[in-house]
A and B are shown apart, each in its own frame.
Chain A
Amino acid sequence: MSSAPLTPRVNIYDAAAANRVRTVVLIVVFVGLVTALVYFAGEYFAPGGGIALLPFALVFSVGSSLVSYFAGDKLVLAQSQAREVADDEERELHNVVETLALGMGIPTPKLYIIDDSAPNAFATGRDPKHASVAVTRGLLDKMDRTELEGVIAHELSHVGNRDIRVMLLVTVLVGTVVLLSDWVTRSMFWGGGRRDRDRDGGGGGIIALIAIVLAILMPIFATLIQLAVSRQREYLADASGALLTRYPPGLASALRKIAADTEKLEVANKATASLYIANPLKDHNAFLDGLFDTHPPIEERIKRLEAM
């Protein structure tokens, strides 16, 4: 496996088409889940109330899909305290990004800097025309030119493959799902649901059970989707990034430096962690080994890059 030759040229147009399908599936699943949760929660509190709440659920879930589609990148960038880089500063970074964007066949994305000394980077946006790449000050300080090229090429592969849209939607929508079910769970324990549950018998019990199960399982389910989605595409972006620079050791060495750096990126959180090139939280969940990791093990990524 690791001795496999250089991956065949990943056509960004093919990857982009697959991701377009994923986007649609993602939004449909999200709208479906939210609607189901709201319906059962409504039925739980007041029989018949679920139906009445359905229009609100639809408006809410479609609305938050639209918001995350069109403004999600700004939310994520603002949350990461990234500031836009002017055209006349960081000339080397500008050059690297412009050059590699040409090789990728995409417009030059907007550049952002996060003033944090932990080396890391992410890309976001809804399509290559509305894409942004954010790097930390630590990345610029600690990487040499080939390593920086490796990291930027990885990020631009995400842009070119339209990974950024899927990752962004997942990030914002999963955040919403978690928030919503948290809300429902809380009002179930403290709210006025008990009155109705006492009044009618078995039917209400089943609905209550479904509501509770949904409220508890949804965040776990959503998180698992997020993790599964992000891990596979890190390998793909590593491969197509290395193919773009024609120099896999650059990215491998950058990853090694990032792995060796013990500093935690302060502005990253659980929701945005999967966007970064390497896990910015530096937490390793030994308990559920691998299941809840946002990124594939960095050693494995380096090994695959070295085998190219």
Chain B
Amino acid sequence: MDPIVIVLIVIAAIAVFLIAGFNRLVTLRQRVKEAWSDIDVQLKRRHDLIPNLVETVKGYAAHESATFQAVTNARAAAVAAGASASPQERAQAENMLTGTLRSLFAVAENYPQLQAIQEFKDLSENLTATEDKIAFARRFYNGNVRDYNTALMTFPTNLYASLLGFKPEQFFELADPTEREVPQVKFTTP
């Protein structure tokens, strides 16, 4: 066979290979975006629930204003982060919000009448359900990020991916309230 033909065939094969790799990256990146919008919807729902919750608790525990202020501020920060920030920054804001919510529920614990009213029960149940959904949406998102990042970093895609503008995506890491804290190890010198 003519050597030129062979060279052409090899070039064509390489081109097909590169195009397939490129298309795969585009598909994977698209999946990451879709998964992210699932998280986004649930985070917004959580933000929407909080003002009502704060108002309800306020009706019974008006003097705990520091706690309410902390929740309201953290919520505002989380909403602001939702407008533009990266997954990492959003996760930070959400973690702050989770922390303040925990102290809000700790406050609510001290008011048995509050615990008894239906509205409070519904709100806290809704909030728990939403947080469950965030946890699952996050898992799906992180799975897709991992697949995309792996494709990005493996040979031979890693050779040309960055040239074409593909960047690794960030994981969305939330503090899991059930996770055990890392034990603090201190070495004291005698």
Contacts and interface: CB of A to CB of B under 8 A. Distances in A.
B35 interface: yes
B136 A103 contact: yes
Interface string A79-102: 000000000000000010011101
Contacts of A102: 38, 42, 133, 136-137, 140
Interface string A1-15: 000000001010100
B147 interface: yes
A104 interface: yes
Given A13-B31, A95-B132, A103 B147 contact: no
Interface in B117-147: 129, 132-133, 136-137, 139-140, 143-144, 147
A98 B147 contact: no
Contacts of A103: 136-137, 139-140
Contacts of B132: 95, 99
Given A13-B31, A105-B35, A105-B38, A99 B136 contact: yes
Nearest to B144: A105
A99 B137 CA distance: 8
Given A103-B136, A103-B137, A104-B140, A95 B38 contact: no
A104 B140 CA distance: 6
Interface residues of A, number: 11
Contacts, number: 28
A11 B146 CA distance: 12
Contact of A99 (B34, B129, B144): B129
A98 B147 CA distance: 24
A104 B180 CA distance: 26
Contact of A95 (B129, B137, B147): B129
Contacts of A9: 143
Nearest to A101: B136
A103 B147 CA distance: 15
Nearest to A105: B140
Contacts of A11: 147
Contacts of A99: 129, 132-133, 136
A190 B60 CA distance: 84
A95 B147 CA distance: 28
B136 A100 contact: yes
A13 B38 CA distance: 17
A198 B2 CA distance: 67
A95 B129 CA distance: 7
A162 to B, nearest CB: 16
Contacts of B147: 11
Interface of B: 31, 34-35, 38, 42, 129, 132-133, 136-137, 139-140, 143-144, 147
Interface of A: 9, 11, 13, 95, 98-100, 102-105
24 contacts: A9-B143, A11-B147, A13-B31, A95-B132, A98-B133, A99-B129, A99-B132, A99-B133, A99-B136, A100-B136, A102-B42, A102-B136, A102-B137, A102-B140, A103-B136, A103-B137, A103-B139, A103-B140, A104-B140, A105-B31, A105-B34, A105-B35, A105-B38, A105-B144
Q: Which 5 A-B pairs have the closest CB atoms?
A: A103-B136, A102-B137, A105-B140, A102-B136, A95-B129
